[in-house]
């Protein structure tokens, strides 16, 4: 007699206990999500910006069951903030006390600024931060924008992005005290710029290292072609010359342009960059792993690099998270019949995890339009939360959220 094996939920399937079908959207008039964080109560926060006649910071919070949180904003689970210009939210971090920090860009016609905004637990601007809840920072250039934020164990807020004169750009970092003022102990008056290449470069993500060190990931051009780039700074804002090649490592993954967007640090100190690589007229996902000292980890993939293809279109990896067992979850844009949420899990050595989804890959379509995943976070029970934007009708896009099983 043959006994049937018990049925188990497969890793990578949508979690039907989340909003009834594993998916949820917010901002019916239009918005896009860029980053996701999970608080101590299991509530899920997504930050981005509105896609309406006015572009403002957008925040949505969901209960653990996927429903909009009635205790956030005006009872509908969402908050918009007008910073006085064309405003973008690109990253979010949660303080130990539950306060919410969102960073992005405030754009005027002739210049732009770092935007750093802090909210209380219910989504109200925190007036104890820079007197009105907002700080706008410039680096003596016309243009600057913040793409990433991290909160140190001491409560300092580290923000990374770029500063530009309009033709060339530099990496830009700023550190703020918990009250919102720039920290004079960091760089020059709280600010640091780094010229990594002769032309264009940006910091796209940040990871903190014990001892106050700061790892940044993004890209830097070489001969006008972007390359994956990673660097490390000491607690005072100086480049750590023992890291990589004099503080910075750039990697040419393909002969075309390569741009990194997401960064994660493993428990063993190894660092993973994910993004977009160009080859053969198409764009594929690129994943690169470095050792703690910024050198390529030759034991990962092929000489430290992995490239994952979906179809003939241009696909991008945007976010990455590391599971406790060392498996690597990467999210982004993946094309099948349409552009969908793409979620891929890799083994610690860089091979596709065939026990996840279909041969390691999951594509999720929300509705009628194109969808794009940008941020990923892991719940305490291991479930995978992915945020981005969903096309729900012609020219209508909403902040989108999906949760996947992890068994």
Give the per-residue pLDDT at 336.
73
Give the per-residue pLDDT at 183.
98
User: What are the CA-CA distances from residue 234 to residues 103, 212, 238, 293 (Å)?
Assistant: 22, 7, 5, 13
Give the per-residue pLDDT at 3.
38
Give the per-residue pLDDT at 312.
81
Q: Would you mind telling me the total number of residues written for the chain in this entry?
A: 407
Widest pairwise Cα distance in the chain:
78
Residue 80 — φ and ψ, nearest 5°? Answer: -120, 145
Low-confidence residues in the chain, pLDDT < 50? 1-8
Give the per-residue pLDDT at 187.
98
Closest to 58 (Cα-Cα) out of 28, 100, 27 = 27
* Residues 6 or more apart whose Cβ sits within 8 Å of residue 94: 37, 39, 45, 100, 101, 151
Closest to 283 (Cα-Cα) out of 257, 303, 304 = 257
What pTM, to 2 d.p., does this model score? 0.96
- Does residue 386 contact residue 379 with C-beta atoms inside 8 Å? no
d(CA 242, CA 396): 48
Give the per-residue pLDDT at 281.
75
Q: For the chain, what is the mean pLDDT? A: 95
């Amino acid at each position: 007699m043959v006994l049937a094996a018990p049925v188990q939920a497969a890793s990578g399937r949508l979690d039907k206990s989340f909003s009834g079908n594993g998916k949820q959207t917010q901002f019916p008039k239009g918005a896009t999500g860029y980053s996701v964080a999970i608080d101590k109560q299991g509530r899920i926060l997504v930050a981005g910006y509105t896609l309406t006649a006015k572009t403002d910071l957008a925040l949505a919070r969901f209960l653990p069951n996927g429903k909009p949180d009635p205790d956030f904003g005006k009872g509908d689970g969402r908050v918009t903030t007008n910073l006085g210009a064309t405003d973008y939210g690109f990253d979010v971090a949660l303080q130990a006390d539950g306060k919410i920090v969102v960073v992005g860009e405030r754009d005027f016609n002739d210049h732009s600024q770092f935007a750093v905004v802090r909210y209380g637990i219910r989504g109200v601007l925190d007036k104890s931060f820079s007197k009105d809840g907002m700080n706008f920072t410039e680096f003596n250039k016309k243009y600057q924008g913040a793409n990433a934020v991290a909160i140190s164990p001491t409560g300092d807020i580290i923000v990374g992005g770029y500063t530009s004169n309009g033709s060339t750009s530099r990496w830009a970092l700023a550190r703020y005290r918990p009250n919102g003022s720039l920290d004079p102990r960091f760089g020059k008056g709280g600010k640091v710029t780094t010229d990594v290449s002769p032309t264009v470069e940006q910091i796209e993500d940040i990871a903190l290292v014990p001892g106050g060190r700061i790892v940044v990931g993004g890209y830097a051009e070489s001969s006008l072609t972007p390359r994956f780039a990673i660097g490390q700074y000491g607690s005072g804002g100086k480049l750590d010359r023992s890291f990589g090649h004099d503080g910075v490592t750039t990697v040419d993954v393909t002969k075309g342009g390569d741009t990194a967007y997401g960064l994660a640090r493993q428990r063993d100190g190894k660092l993973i960059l994910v993004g977009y690589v160009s080859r053969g007229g198409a764009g594929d996902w690129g994943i690169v792993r470095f050792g703690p000292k910024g050198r390529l980890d030759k034991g990962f993939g092929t000489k430290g690099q992995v490239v994952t293809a979906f179809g003939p279109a241009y696909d991008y990896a945007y976010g990455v998270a590391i599971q406790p067992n060392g498996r690597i979850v990467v999210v982004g844009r993946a094309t099948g019949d349409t552009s969908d949420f793409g979620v891929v899990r890799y083994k610690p050595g860089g091979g596709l995890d065939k026990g996840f989804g279909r041969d390691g890959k999951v594509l999720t379509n929300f509705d009628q339009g194109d969808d794009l995943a940008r941020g990923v976070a892991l719940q305490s029970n291991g479930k995978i939360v992915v945020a981005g934007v969903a096309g729900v009708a012609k020219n209508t896009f909403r902040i989108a959220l999906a949760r996947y099983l992890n068994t």
